[in-house]
Amino acid sequence: MARNCCAVKHSCLTRACTSVTSTSPFQTRRNQMSKVEMMEIEEYFSSKSELAQQAAPGAVYFGATTSAEAEYDDDSGYYLIRSTYYTGLFDQKKGELKIQDPEAYTSFFAQVRKSWPDEDSADNEHVSALTMVQETEWADDTTIEILYRENDLLEALNSTQEAISVSTVIGIAIEKKDDSLIYDLTSEHELQPDDIDALLEYDGTLGSSLMNQSHLRPSHLWSIYEAFEDAEDEFDLEDIVNHRRCPTDLLEELYERFPDSIDLEGRAAFLDRVARNPDQADPLGDLLFVLQDDATSAETLHFLSDSTEKEIRLGLLKKPQVLKDLLLKFTTDSDEYVRRAVVVHPQVTSELLTQLATDSDSDVRKAVASNPQATPELLTQLATDSDSWVRMVVVVHPQVTPELLVQLATNPYSDVRKAVVVHPQVTPELLIQLATDSDEYVRRAVAAHPQMPSELLIQLATDSDSDVRRAVAAHPQMPSELLIQLATDSDEYVRRTVAAHPQMPSELLIQLATDSDSDVRRAVAAHPQMPSELLIQLATDSSQFVRMAVAAHPQATPEVLIQLATDSNSGVRSAVNTKLGSKLSEQLQEDARLRSAVAAHPQATPEVLIQLATDSDEDVRRAVAANPQTTPELLIQLAKDSDLDVRKAVAANPQTTPELLIQLAKDSNYFVRRAVAANPQTTPELLIQLAKDSDLDVRKAVAAHPQATPEVLIQLAKDSNSGVRWAVAAHPQATPEVLIQLATDSDEDVRSAVVAHPQVTSELLIQLATDSNSGVRKAVIAHPQATPEVLIQLATDSNWEIRRAVAAHPQATPEVLTQLAKDSDLDVRRAVADNPQATPEVLIQLAKGSGEYVSRAVAANPQVTSELLIQLAKDSNSGVRRAVAAHPQMPSELLVQLAKDSESDVRKAVAAHPQATPELLIQLATDSESWVRSGVAAHPQATLELLTQLATDSNEYVRRAVAAHPQMPSELLVQLAKDSESDVRKAVADNPQATPEVLIQLATDSESDVRRAVVVHPQVTSELLIQLAKDSNYFVRRAVAAHPQATPELLTQLATDSESDVRKAVAAHPQAIPEVLIQLAKDSDLDVRRAVVVHPQATPEVLIQLAKDSSSVVRRAVAAHPQATPEVLIQLAKDSDQYVRRAVAAHPQATPEVLIQLVDDAFTGIRQLIAMRTQA
C-alpha cells in the first residue's frame, strides 16, 4: 500500500469515562462553606416538614444558603427538588455520587414530585433524570448512565446547552457498542475532527455515514478507504475521489490500484468546479486545497489569481513553476506581501526586480535589495533609498564589490556609510577616508573598528565629538600614550572610559583618583587593578558613591571595610558586608520566616544558632534543631523543648550524641522515638530497648536500622506486626536462622522478602518453591541463585505463568525444556521456543502441530538446525516462512527456494538477508511487489548494475531506497536528483555521497523539505547557504540561520527576516556578531530577545538595553546573566516584577549596593535570600 495511515487516538471516550470524577458544582460550593453556614442551613430545614428535613443534607452539599432558601416554601419550589435530588444520589460516607437501581430512582423522585404543587404537571408522578438535567443544566456519571438506560441520552444532548457534549455521547455509544445511537449522532449532529477519529477507530466502515460531515479531513478519507479495503467490502470510489478533501497521495493510490476507474483529467475538471464554487462553510479551505493539488490546471490557477483572498495569491507564488505572466501580474498587486513574494520567487527576472525596486512599500524594496539576482546597478540605485533598512541591506548584499563599497562610502546617507565601516571587507584605505566623515556616528564607528590602524586612533583622539574620543578611549588596542592624553580630556565621559580601560597603568589610576568628576573617581574605585593604597585614599572620598564602590571592591582590605563600617552615610555603611547583617536585624525581628531561613542555612555561625535557639517561634527553633551545624550543647538544650517537632528534629539530627538519643528514646511521643530509631548514631544497645516499643512504626524503624544486631532482628522476627517482620526479612544483616524462621511466616509479603534476600540459601529456595502463594513461587524463579532442582520442581506448577517463567529461564536444563515443550499452555510452549537453551530435539518437537505462534519462535531460535529450517520453510503460514527467511544461519539453497515464495513478506525477508547472493538479488530486483524490490535496493551488497536498474523503477519507494544507498555513485545521484517524486529527491539530498554539483541542483527543488536537506548536508558550500538564505520557505531559511558554517554576513542578512523563528536561530548562533545581537535585542518577538539574552557573546551594552525590555521574562534572564554588571543589577533591583528582583538577589555578583535596595522588599522570599547571604 502506498501509504500507511494510522488512526489518530481519540480522547472523547476517555473524557466520557473520567470527566464525571471531577469536582461537581455542589461539591465545590460545599468545600467553600464554613461550619457556621452549614449549621444555619441544617437548622433552617430542621424546623420544616419531614420531606424538607430529608432534603437538608442535599441542600448543604448543593450549596443553598439561608437567604436564598428563605425565598421558597419548604414543601415546594426549585431548591427543594434539586437538593432532594442530590440527597438521593450523594453517598455522604464515601463523599461521592452513587449509582442507584433505575426502579428505586424512579420511586424516590415520584414521592418528591407528588409534593411539588405545579398545576401544569401535577398528574406527572415520575421525575426522570432527563427532567433533572434540563432543570440543573448539569450531569454526572450517575445521571448519564440512567439517561442511557431510559433511552433519553440523545434527547438530553439536544435539549441542554452545556450539561452533555457530543463527544461524551460518542464515548458512551462506543463503550456500549450502540450502533443505532452512533447512526443517530452522525445523521443529526455536526461532529468535530476528534469525534470522527474516535468513530473511525471504533469501526472504519462507518465512513459511508460520515462523508457529508464538514470537518472530514484527508486523513479520515485514508482511514475510510483502508477500512473498507481491509474488510473487503464494496465501496463507491467516486465518493472518495470526488470529495473536496481527497488528498493527492490517496488519489494516486486509487489510480495505481484502479486505473480504469479513476479519471485524472476528470479530477482536474472537478478541482476547477470546486475553485469556482467553493463550500460556503469554508471557502478559503476549499481554495487552498485546490491550489495545493498537483492536478490543478493552468486555467484554474489563472482563475485563482483573481481571488480577493491574499492567502490564495500567496499560495500561487509558493509554487516554484508558477506561470511567468502571473509573476508579472502580481508585481502590481494591491497587497505588499504578495509583491514581496514575487521578489523572493526563484523565477523572478532582473526586469521584474528593477520594476519592484521602486515599489511604494519599503519591505518590498528591502526584499529586492536582498535578492541574490540583484545587479550592481540595482544595488547602487537602492543604496540611496529613503528607507534606512533598504540601504543597510544593500551594504550586506553578497554581490557588493570592493568598488561598490568605495562608491557607498560616499553615499549621502550616514547610516550607509556607517554600515560600510563595519563591513568585513572594508579596507584600511576606506577607514582612513571615513575617519574624516562629517557625521560623528560614522567617525565613532571607525574609532570602534577592531582593525583600526594606530595612526587613525591618534587622529580620532583629538576629534571634536566627545563620543568619538570616548570610542577611542574604549578601543582594546589603545597605546598607553593615548590613554595618558585622553585622561586629561575636557569631557568627563571620556575620562570615565579611560578610567575603566583594562590596560590602565597604575600611575594613571593614581592621577584620575583625584579627578574633579566623582563618576571618574568611582570608575577608578571599581577598577580590578586598583592598588590597595589607592582604595585607602578613596575610602575617604567626598562622594558617597565612590566610597560605596570601594566597599564593594573584591580587593578591599579589612582595614578599609572597618573604616567604611562607621561611614557617615548610611548607604556606605550598608554596602559593607559586615554591616549589612545589622541592616537586616529589624526585618529579622519582625519576620519569623526570615529567621527560619537563617536558622536552616548550612553556613549559619554558632553565634547565630545560639541566638535563634531561644526564639519565640517554634518553626525557628525547629530549623536550628535540624541544622547539622548545631552544636551538641545546643541540641541538649533543644531536646527539652515543649514543642514536639523541635524534639523530633533533635532526634533526627545526625550530630545528636548517643547520650542524648538515650534520653529522647524515653520521650512520651512516638514520633520522637521513631526519629531516634532511624538516627544513624543510635547504638545497638538503644535499638534493643526500642525493639520493645509499643509503637509499631518505632519497631519498623529499628528493623530497618543498618546497626540492628542479629539479636535485635531475631527478637523482631517474632513481632505481631507483619510490616515489622517484613523489614527484618529485608534487612541485609538478617542471618540464615532468621530467614528460615520467616520463610514459614503467615504473611506472603514477608515470605517474598525472604526469597529476595541476597543471603537466602538454595535449600530455602527449594522450600519456598512449594509455597502456597504464586507470587512467592514467581519470586523464587526470578532469584539469581535459583538452582536447576528448583526449576525442575516448578516446571510442574499448577500456575501457567510460573511454568512460563521456568520455560524462559536461562538456566533451564534440556530435561526441563523437553518436559515443558509438551505443556498444554500455548504461552509456555512459546517461551520454550524462545529460549536459546532449547536443544534441536526440543525445537523439532515444538514444530509439530503447535501453530504459527510457536513455530515462528522456533524458526527464530539460534539453535534451530538446517534440517528443521528446511521443514519449516514448507509451513503453510507465511509468518513462519518469513521467520525462516530472516534466520542468520539460513542455508543458501533455502534462500533460493524462499525467494520464489508466494507471499511478498517472505520474499522481502530474503531480499534483506545478509547472505543473499548477487544472483538472488538480481532475481528479486524484478519482483512484482515494490517493497521486495525496495529491500533489494537497500541491501548493502547490491551491485552498481542492480542500483542502476532499480533507479528507473516505476515505484517511488524503490527509487527512494536506491537514492539512500550508501554506495551510490555520483552519476546515479545526479539522475535521481531529477526524479518526479520529492521523497526520492530528498533521499538524494540526505545521502552523504551527494556531491556539491548534485546539491546545487537540489537547492532549487520545488519541495522545501528537499532544499532544507541540502542546507544540513555535510558537503553544502557557503555559496549554497547564501542562495538558500533567500529561500521562500522559512524552514529552509531557519536551517541556514542555524548552520554552524553560516558567516556573520549571512547572519546579518537573516537578522531582518520576516519570520521570528529565523531571527531566533540567528540570535542563538554562536557566530552572531555583537552588532546583530544589539539589533535583535530590539526585536518585536519575545523568543528572539530571550535568545539574545542567553547568547555567550551578549555584551554589557546588549544587557543594558534588554534590562529595559517590556517583558519580565527577558528582564529576569538579564538579572540571572553571569555578565550582568552592577549597574544593570542596580537598575533591575527596582523592577516591578518580583521574580526579576529575586534573580537580582540571588546573583553572585550582586554588590552590597544592590542588596541594600532589596532589604526592604515587599516579598518575603527576596528578604529571605538577602538574610541567608548576609548571615552566612
Task: Report pLDDT digits (tens) over 875-902.
Answer: 999 999 999 999 998 898 999 999 999 9
For 171-194, what is the mean pLDDT? 86
Rounded average pLDDT over 321-326: 76
Neighbours of 401 (CB within 10 A): 12
Instruction: Please give the pLDDT value at position 281.
Output: 65
Asked if residue 113 has pLDDT above 60, the reply is no
pTM: 0.48
The pLDDT confidence band at residue 586, using thresholds 50, 70 and 90, is low
Mean predicted confidence (pLDDT) in 1144-1168:
83
Quick: pLDDT tens for 433-460. 999 999 999 999 999 998 888 889 999 9
For residues 809-825, average pLDDT: 94
pLDDT band at 595 (very low <50, low <70, confident <90, very high): confident
Predicted local confidence at residue 244, as pLDDT: 67
Map residue 1067 onto helix, strand or coil.
helix
Mean pLDDT of 591-600: 80
**What confidence category does residue 570 fall into, taking pLDDT thresholds of 50, 70 and 90?**
confident
Range with the poorest average pLDDT among 245-249, 815-819, 838-842: 245-249
Q: What is the pLDDT of residues 351-367, one digit of tens each?
A: 999 999 999 999 999 99
Structure-model confidence comparison of residues 1167 and 274, the more confident one: 1167
Whether 34 shows a pLDDT value over 80: the answer reads no
Rounded to whole angstroms, the Cα distance separating 87 from 105 reads 12
Q: Tell me, what's the pLDDT at 77?
A: 35
Instruction: Label each residue of 559-587 as H, E or C.
Output: HHHHHHHCCCCHHHHHHCHHHHHHHCHHH
Residues of the chain with pLDDT > 70, as a percent, come to 84
- What is the predicted pLDDT for the residue at 186? 83
* pLDDT, tens digit (0-9, with 9 covering 90-100), for 261-277: 666 667 777 777 777 87
Residue 465 is given by DSSP the state S
pLDDT of residue 92 exceeding 60, the answer is no
For residue range 897-924, list pLDDT tens digits in order: 999 999 999 999 999 999 999 999 999 9
- Give the helix/strand (H/E) hosting 761: none
Cell numbers representing residue 88 in the block: 438521593
Tens-digit pLDDT profile for residues 326-359: 888 889 999 999 999 999 888 899 899 999 999 9
Least Cα distance to 1106 among 1096, 1097, 1116 occurs for 1116
Confidence at 236, pLDDT banded by 50, 70, 90? low
Amino acid 1151: pLDDT: 80
The predicted pLDDT at position 164 comes to: 85
- Reduced to 3 DSSP states, what percent helix, strand and coil does the chain have, rounded to the nearest 5? 60, 0, 40
Q: How confident is the model at residue 119 (pLDDT cuts 50, 70, 90)?
A: very low
Mean pLDDT of all residues in the chain?
83
Does 857 or 384 have the greater pLDDT score?
857
Confidence check: pLDDT of 201 > 80: yes
Rounded to whole angstroms, the Cα distance separating 529 from 120 reads 96
Please enumerate in sequence order all residues whose Cβ is within 8 A of that of 145, keeping only pairs 6 or more positions apart, or say none: 99
In the prediction, which pLDDT does 396 show?
84
Asked if 145 and 99 count as a contact pair (C-beta separation under 8 A), the reply is yes
- 781, 801 in Cβ contact below 8 A? no
Task: Report DSSP letters for 869-931, one per residue.
Answer: HHHHTT-S-HHHHHHHHT-TT--HHHHHHHTT-SSHHHHHHHHH-TT--HHHHHHHTT-SSHH
Q: What is the DSSP letter of 6?
A: P
Tell which residue, 754, 371, 462, 879, has the closest CA to residue 447: 462
Least confident of 106-110, 474-478, 518-522: 106-110
Find all residues with CB under 8 Å of 497, minimum gap 6, and list them.
470, 473, 474, 486
What CA–CA distances, in Å, run from 59 to 24, 82, 542? Answer: 14, 8, 76
Residue 76 has pLDDT above 90, yes or no: no
Give the CA-trace dihedral at 128, 130, 135, 141, to 10 degrees: 100
Determine the pLDDT at residue 132. 67
Q: What's the CA dihedral at 968, 972, 973, 976 to 10 degrees?
A: -130
Q: Which pLDDT value is given to residue 221? A: 81
Whether 55 has a pLDDT exceeding 50, the answer reads no
CA distance 955 to 61: 68
What is the band of 1022 on the pLDDT scale with cuts at 50, 70, 90? very high
Q: Which residue has 541476597 as its cell numbers?
A: 758
* Cell (9 digits) for 202: 471504533
Q: What percent of the chain has pLDDT over 90?
A: 52
pLDDT 10s digits, 674-705: 999 999 999 999 999 999 999 999 999 999 99
| pLDDT over threshold 70, residue 480 | yes
| Domain chopping of the chain, boundaries | 203-262, 265-348, 917-1020
CATH superfamily of 917-1020: Leucine-rich Repeat Variant (1.25.10.10)
In this predicted structure, the answer to whether residue 1094 has a pLDDT above a threshold of 60 is yes
Inform me whether the pLDDT recorded for 824 exceeds 60: yes
Region of 1161 please: left (phi>0), alpha (psi -120 to 50) or beta.
Answer: beta
The pLDDT assigned to 590 comes to 67
Task: Name 368's Cβ contacts closer than 8 Å, sequence gap at least 6.
Answer: 343, 353, 356, 357, 359, 374, 378, 382
Question: With 60 as the cut, is the pLDDT of residue 102 above it?
Answer: no
pLDDT band of residue 566 (cuts 50, 70, 90) is low
Whether 1044 contacts 1038, CB under 8 Å: no
45 pLDDT more than 80: no
For 821-863, the DSSP string reads TT-S-HHHHHHHHH-TT--HHHHHHHTSS--HHHHHHHHH-TT
* Span 999-1012, average pLDDT: 95
Find the largest Cα–Cα distance for the chain.
110
